[in-house]
Amino acid sequence: MNAHADIAGQSLARQANDIARDLTRADPKVYWTDLAVTAAVTWLSFWIAATSTSAGWAWIAGAVCVLALYRGISFIHELTHLRRDDVPFFHFAWNVAIGVPWLTPSLLYEGVHILHHAKDRYGTARDPEYHPLARRPLYELAVFLGIALLAPVGTVLRFAVLAPLGFLIPAVRRFTIAKASGMVINTHFSREDFDRAGRAPWLAQEIACWLWSWGLIGLAATGVLPWRVLIVGVAIFAVMTFLNQVRTAVAHRWDNDGEVMAPLDQFLDSVNVPPPALLPFLWAPVGLRYHALHHLMPRLPYHNLGEAHRRLVEALPANHDYRRAEERELFPALGKLVARMRRSRP
């Protein structure tokens, strides 16, 4: 990457910070209200989907639950960037309301996602959340999307099987921490923060997920909990993770060759889907529609990303590099990814 691109990238970051640095404070009222409403809708719609005698209402409730759970799970991204004193007890509350019950505790993301933002890691083989999809054969996109449907199997194996085994067998424990404790895209990535796995927050989340998974399986096996409840939960979780994987496919251009990228190139390899598009509210919730802006200013809380984007658009020229990261909607962006994949193959 040339020096000009590097300077331009730093300049863009400075411009963004000058324009929106006053927006970096998280508003606890927004976080708590959003989490409370999202969790309530998630669990109410799940209950209706799992118990309703009307197939129509069950399907409608299931669809609502997928979207509500997707929004709830997406807060795991905020937790990674949110200091615990920004919104006290929010990490704990999220894990209780969403993370542990759906076997997706924050330990799977904290300590991993932050590496994706490291300037010397992004887009390289050391980035846990990068795979050069645009340079790969088209079938890999189908695999990339389809494997998300197996997420329920993976989470059960992680917490119902590997967690208890790991406490008995050190080798299994090391493998579990390194290879089965991160929401990653790069399958070659291994966690190295073994000390984190011995701390109270990690252990509390892990043991809670282990006991919760065993409890659900035991209640279903003994007939106390109808199998329909588990089956509906698995289906909702699978569809939710598939939706997130589709969103992930258009969050970046995925076109880096593994070399360290200049700041501007990292930004341009990321995607914003700003208004007037309306559907990103559903398929890219909790600020994920402003993914490029998030890479530019990772400390911006999700509820201020829209205002920051508005200010940048107003302050910067229409032909500014900032606008080059924009896409109109999900399917046009996905179509461009497919086109890049086709062009990259001989």
Residue 63 near residue 5 (C-beta atoms within 8 A): no
pLDDT in tens, 275-319: 999 999 999 999 999 999 999 999 999 999 999 999 999 999 999
**107 DSSP 8-state letter:** G
**With bands split at pLDDT 50, 70 and 90, how would you rate the model's confidence at 2?**
very low
pLDDT at 8: 45
Q: Which two tokens stand for residue 340?
A: 């890049």
Handedness of CA 54, 55, 58, 59 (dihedral sign): negative
Quote the longest CA-to-CA distance of the chain: 66
Question: Span 91-103, mean pLDDT?
Answer: 98
Residue 324 clears pLDDT 60, i.e. is over it? yes
Tally of structural domains, the chain:
1
- What's the pTM value of the predicted model, to 2 decimals? 0.94
Residue 250 clears pLDDT 60, i.e. is over it? yes
pLDDT in tens, 129-185: 999 999 999 999 999 999 999 999 999 999 999 999 999 999 999 999 999 999 999
pLDDT at 1: 41
Cα 144 from Cα 139, distance rounded (Å): 9
Parent domain of 281: 1-346
DSSP letters, 119-177, are: TTTTTSTT-TT---GGGS-THHHHHHHHGGGGHHHHHHIIIIIIHHHHHH-HHHHHHHH
Q: Which residues of 275-297 are buried (b: 16+ CB within 10 A; e: fewer)?
A: eebeebeebbbbbbbbbbbbbbb
DSSP letters, 9-66, are: HHHHHHHHHHHHGGG----HHHHHHHHHHHHHHHHHHHHHHHH-S-HHHHHHHHHHHH
**With bands split at pLDDT 50, 70 and 90, how would you rate the model's confidence at 346?**
low
Residue 125 clears pLDDT 70, i.e. is over it? yes
Residue 31 near residue 90 (C-beta atoms within 8 A): yes
pLDDT in tens, 203-212: 999 999 999 9
